[in-house]
């Protein structure tokens, strides 16, 4: 059921040591980038509404903060397109370095940004601008990191190597939650609201050091080098545009990729951001306890994601991918029934099972998306598919969750939202499987 991978490069295979070095650098790049991205989501659920959008009710402030959170997702396709175009023409590594640098600058800016009480309307406007820069950065990063890992992978291990980049998500969640827990533990509520919440953003500035390391110590991928040689002469006579090629001939594949993954990214942001707001504001659960549950649940993904990816190397990407989507479809209602008990134990059980199904999908996703496109358009195509899913699912999910809860008064509306996205995912996966079988 797998899609056919692109042809192997003619250049000599990299050494095992070089493969491991590049895979580790790509995984670290993903981890620090996602850490910077996730601290905003946690801060949006806890403090940004009051500090930057003070007018109106608490729900209005949270909605405004989550809307700013969503703006970062709307910017992600922009980063994916720009980096995809340049990454398919100039190389994976330069775009990854640029993405890390931009993320470091934007994250530091948020950590130092004065609040509404200090500079008025300029505060939320600048917050939105910095969030847009974060979105562009993470949109550019994923394709570069994923391709650095998968295009260096040895034969038969593309799924496993790609999952190392996917591990950046749970690592980012764990570290973001840990830093917020520590900031809350060592400050009073007043001090946390005044300056403690800024500490995680200032820590994220260390991403610039990793950008410099990759720039100076990591080489370009063999697959890109081979594609670059093969297309050098064609480029001279007819400059190529990976984006134009994708839009003319592969748009359907991009949309199917996005449709297949939207349920994953939406459910993920619901459980790490939306549920944090819901549990603390609506169910009166303690902030530190809910953050601790999110941290522990994310730790389990460090095992499940590579396990699912390694299994996909043996029995097929789409089989594993579809299993995760079915699980999210079936578990959407039980998850919120458990959360609504306001019991920490049942919250942990509900989100843990959800996290298992998310991991089953997320593990093989990098290799699956890479194999949908050839090397000369892979950065653009895979990035667009992923970022479309991020906009349709992740960016709007916490915002939609609050709206649904306010409009209906029941969490079952959020479960229905997940079910609809899961059905879309299964239809998309089915079409991709038929296309793969017909090749």
Q: What is the pLDDT of residue 14?
A: 66
Sign of the CA dihedral with 428 first, then 268, 135, and 119 last: positive
Average pLDDT by stretches of 10, the chain with 439 residues: 43 67 78 81 82 72 74 81 75 78 89 91 90 86 77 80 84 85 86 89 76 67 57 51 79 91 92 86 86 86 92 92 96 96 94 95 90 80 85 78 90 95 96 84
Q: What is the pLDDT of residue 7?
A: 43
Q: What is the pLDDT of residue 239?
A: 52
* Cα gap 34→204, rounded to integer Å: 10
Question: How far is residue 210 from each of residues 178, 213, 396, measured CA to CA in Å?
Answer: 20, 5, 30
Q: What is the pLDDT of residue 348?
A: 94
* Cα gap 206→197, rounded to integer Å: 17
- Do 27 and 165 meet the contact criterion of CB atoms below 8 Å apart? yes
- Do 83 and 145 meet the contact criterion of CB atoms below 8 Å apart? no
Q: What is the pLDDT of residue 322?
A: 95
* Cα gap 99→210, rounded to integer Å: 11
Residue closest to 394 by CA, chosen among 63, 72, 79, 33: 72
Question: How far is residue 383 from each of residues 142, 257, 296, measured CA to CA in Å?
Answer: 7, 10, 29
Q: What tokens were used for 322?
A: 């579809």
């Amino acid at each position: 059921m797998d899609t056919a991978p692109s042809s192997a490069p003619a250049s000599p295979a990299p050494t095992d040591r070089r493969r491991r070095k590049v895979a580790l650098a790509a995984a670290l790049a993903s981890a620090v980038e996602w850490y910077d991205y996730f601290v905003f989501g946690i801060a949006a659920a806890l403090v940004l509404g009051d500090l930057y959008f003070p007018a109106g009710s608490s729900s209005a402030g949270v909605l405004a903060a989550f809307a700013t959170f969503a703006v970062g997702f709307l910017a992600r396709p922009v980063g994916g397109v720009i980096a995809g175009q340049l990454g398919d023409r100039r190389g994976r590594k330069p775009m990854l370095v640029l993405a890390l640098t931009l993320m470091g600058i934007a994250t530091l800016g948020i950590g130092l940004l004065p609040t509404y009480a200090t500079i008025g309307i300029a505060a939320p406007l600048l917050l939105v601008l910095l969030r847009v820069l974060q979105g562009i950065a993470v949109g550019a990063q994923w394709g570069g990191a994923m391709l650095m890992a998968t295009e260096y992978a040895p034969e038969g291990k593309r799924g496993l190597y790609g999952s190392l980049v996917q591990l950046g998500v749970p690592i980012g969640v764990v570290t973001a939650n840990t830093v917020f827990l520590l900031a809350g533990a060592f400050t009073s509520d007043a001090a946390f609201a005044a300056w403690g919440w800024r500490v995680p953003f200032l820590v994220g500035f260390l991403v610039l050091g990793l950008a410099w390391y990759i720039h100076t110590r990591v080489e370009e991928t063999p697959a890109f080098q081979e594609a670059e040689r093969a297309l050098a002469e064609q480029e001279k006579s007819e400059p190529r545009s990976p984006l134009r090629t994708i839009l003319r001939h592969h748009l359907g594949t991009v949309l199917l990729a996005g449709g297949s993954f939207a349920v994953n990214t939406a459910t993920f942001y619901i459980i790490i951001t939306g549920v944090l707001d819901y549990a603390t504001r609506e169910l009166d659960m303690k902030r530190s306890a809910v953050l601790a549950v999110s941290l522990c649940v994310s730790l389990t993904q460090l095992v499940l994601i590579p396990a699912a990816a390694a299994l996909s190397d043996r029995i097929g990407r789409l089989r594993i991918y579809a299993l995760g989507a079915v699980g999210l479809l079936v578990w959407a209602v039980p998850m919120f029934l458990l959360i609504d008990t306001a019991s920490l134990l049942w919250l942990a059980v509900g989100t843990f099972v959800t996290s298992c199904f998310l991991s089953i999908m997320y593990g093989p996703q990098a290799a699956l998306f890479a194999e949908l496109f050839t090397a000369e358009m892979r950065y653009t195509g895979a990035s667009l598919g992923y970022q479309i899913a991020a906009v349709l699912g992740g960016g709007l999910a916490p915002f939609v969750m609050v709206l649904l809860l306010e409009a209906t008064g029941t969490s079952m509306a959020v479960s229905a939202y997940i079910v609809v996205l899961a059905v879309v995912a299964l239809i998309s996966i089915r079409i991709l499987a038929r296309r793969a079988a017909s090749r």
